Amino acid sequence: MNEEHPRSLRFFTVEQAAQEPNVSEAAIRSLLRSGELRGFQVGSRGQWRTGIDDLQAYIDEAYRKVEEKIAGGDFAAVEAEEA
């Protein structure tokens, strides 16, 4: 995790979570809504939060999936997902 977010921080807002993998806030919201990224809503406005460990688990799983595709010789699938 980058130095802007000390390990003592337990939960990220959508904005903070988007900074870690350098993606849009919309991408993080989509992952939260789909359940791919574990999170919860708080307050009357239903603002999303995700745990620092949950974000790391999502990133680790994404790496694992890519490694599995590469090991299986499925380079086309990896390249297609980048587009």
16 domain-assigned: yes
How many structural domains is the chain composed of? Answer: 1
Write the single-letter amino acid at 79. E
56 domain-assigned: yes
pLDDT of 58 higher than 90 = yes
User: Average pLDDT, whole number, for the chain?
Assistant: 88
pLDDT of 60 higher than 90 = yes
Give pTM, 2 decimals: 0.75
37 domain-assigned: yes
| pLDDT score recorded for residue 56 | 96
Which domain covers residue 73, as residue numbers? 11-82
CATH number for position 21 = 1.10.1660
| pLDDT score recorded for residue 73 | 87
User: Stretch 46-72: mean pLDDT, rounded?
Assistant: 95
Task: Report whether 52 contacts 7 (CB < 8 A).
Answer: yes
pLDDT of 20 higher than 60 = yes
76 domain-assigned: yes
Give the chain's count of helices (H) and strands (E). Answer: 4, 3
